[in-house]
Amino acid sequence: MNGSDMEEIPFQKVKTRRKKGHCPLRSPLHDIACEDEFDCKELESLFQNYNLKLEQTSTLKALAVLIIMTSTLALVELMSGPSLTISKGSHPVHCIIFVSLFIVTNVKYLQVTQLQQIVKLTLLFSFTFSFLCCPFSLGAYGLEPPTSSEKGMWQLMLMTFVAYSLLPVRTLLAIVFGIMVSVSHIIVTATSITAKRQRLWRTLVANAVLFASVNLSGVFVRILTERTQRKAFLQARNCIEERLRLEDENEKQERLLMSLLPRNVAMEMKEDFLKPPERIFHKIYIQRHDNVR
């Protein structure tokens, strides 16, 4: 592009498409669970490297939310009383784990594979935290008093939405996480709570509606975020493409001008082109030369 002997390699026109290898073609989740990718593999790899810093920042935000929640719950449980509960042992341990993952994620030179492993560990411990927040009935064993069916609802809903909106995992994995968290809470509530059957079914239906709402909201936010990031990346790429094309055209025009006119006249015309538009084409580049043969 900088010399006459070099071949010009134009930018390829690319577009996004659905990944075919992450879920079956005839699956009902194909339209929402399969992520987008670019047709060009090199461009997809470039997008992943470009998106690494954004994903690292998003993971740090998710871990910060989890640290604040677990530390607050641990403090509240410790101040509640001397009785032994699952929460008193679960919340401090998960808080330490999330703090450790936060420190590891905050490394300056972090690779894509390393970040993916950290995100998967965060998702795994988020599920264990959510599962231990379910209303287990251990009153018969003298560990803690009977619990209500609403226990752990806001923790599980917050965990589900954080997994969708902040953790950079695949959409299908986030959907599986949300479904497992919801089903776990409903099963534990149905088997542990001792209440009237009619009242319990109403509570279970209400909880199911809330879980379905937060999962649908998370999927919607995730799809919009993914498409917005890819659109912004393509716009930045197109701006770089246009700039390189303009530079290439300017070099071609300059070489053409140098080949047609003497160098001093060509340089004078080039300087005049940089002046305001009203001064262009009002100068005659003809000079009188004496004693020339």
Contacts of 248 (CB under 8 A, 6+ apart): 1, 8
- Between 223 and 263, the more confident residue is 223
Of 159-173, 194-208, 277-291, which has the strongest mean pLDDT?
159-173
As a whole number of angstroms, the distance between CA 165 and CA 209 comes to 20
User: For 79, phi and psi rounded to 5 degrees?
Assistant: -85, -10
Write the CA distances from 149 to 122, 189, 213, integer angstroms.
26, 6, 18
Q: 168-215: per-residue pLDDT in tens?
A: 888 899 999 999 999 998 898 888 776 666 677 888 888 999 999 999
pLDDT category at 253 given cuts 50, 70, 90 is confident
User: For 38, phi and psi rounded to 5 degrees?
Assistant: -85, 150
Q: 29-55: per-residue pLDDT in tens?
A: 444 445 566 667 777 777 777 778 888
